Amino acid sequence: MRRFEFGLEKVRRLRCASERQALADLARALGAVREAEEKLRQVADRRDHVLSVIGRRLRQGRMDVAWIELHHRDLERFEREESRGRRALDASRAKYDAALEALRERQSERKALDTLHDKERERHEEEIRREEGIVQDEIALSRHNRIVS
């Protein structure tokens, strides 16, 4: 009885490795998205803190021109940081989407080979069963011939 060998096994292993790499790339891309989201949240938190301080000082009537200019510059800086952060987040999300699509393609390629592998294995097993049936028939016929003779 011969052993099953899939002719495209090396290609199948390469596709599995490619899929694992695509999964790792996706994980890195997701990490970059989360990092960009966190940085954007931190900028928003700092901006909100400055706005609450401004609001509190306005209510208390403790504002002077120098203080207003200082916090106005802070708010402009936060606006620039937030704009950069949003662009970075958009870029990270685009990379994530591309990595997700690449993973889906790799999975599809691997699944196609897995399907072919399974079909070939089934054909091989069917052929083995057929060959075993022939051998069993020959043994039974041989026994019958010995008994009859």
**pTM more than 0.75:** no
Q: pLDDT tens for residues 104-142? A: 999 999 999 999 999 998 999 999 899 888 888 888 888
User: 32 lies in which domain range?
Assistant: 9-117
* HSE-CB for 86 with a 13 A CA cutoff: 6
Residue 94 lies in a domain: yes
Residue 134 lies in a domain: no
Its sign, for the CA torsion 108, 111, 115, 120, is positive
Domain count for the chain: 1
Beta carbons within 8 Å of 29's beta carbon, 6+ residues apart:
92, 95, 96, 98, 99, 100
Q: What is the mean pLDDT of residues 16-24?
A: 96
> At 78, which CATH number?
1.10.287.1700
**Residue listed under structure tokens 């899939």:** 6
Residues in the chain: 149
Beta carbons within 8 Å of 92's beta carbon, 6+ residues apart:
29, 32, 33, 35, 36
